[in-house]
Structure 1
């Protein structure tokens, strides 16, 4: 499954919408995504599974880069 992760780069800063970044991760579950990113010190706001037409749309984005284990 592919998940879109919305995060802030600094765990200690207050989340601000304009500073929110996203990345795409291939994993089996939301828990696996969070475990995979635990060492990066990100403030993860939301993890969303991306499938079907939504995934096709996201893949058209020039910034789409899939992280695998």
Structure 2
């Protein structure tokens, strides 16, 4: 399953839409995504499973890249 992760680069940073980054991660569950990103020090705002038409739309972006751990 592919998950879209919205995050701030620092755990101390207050979530502001203009400074939110996103990445795509391949994992078995949302819990596994959190576990994989725990050592990076990100302030994770939201994790969403991506599939179907939503995944097709995201794949059209030139910035689409799936992180594998």
| TM-score, normalised via structure 2 length | 0.97
Tell me the alpha carbon deviations over residues 20-53 of structure 1, each in whole angstroms, 9 at most, x when there is no partner: 0000000000000000001100000000000001
Q: What secondary structure sits across from 2:5 in the alignment?
A: strand
C-alpha separation in 2, matches of 1:24 and 1:13:
21
Runs (5+) with no aligned partner, structure 2: none
Q: How many pairs were matched up?
A: 69
| TM-score, normalised via structure 1 length | 0.97
RMSD: 0.5
Runs (5+) with no aligned partner, structure 1: none
Match of 2:4 in 1: 4
Q: Runs of 4+ in structure 1 displaced over 6 angstroms?
A: none
- State the Cα distance separating 1:13 from its structure 2 match: 1.4
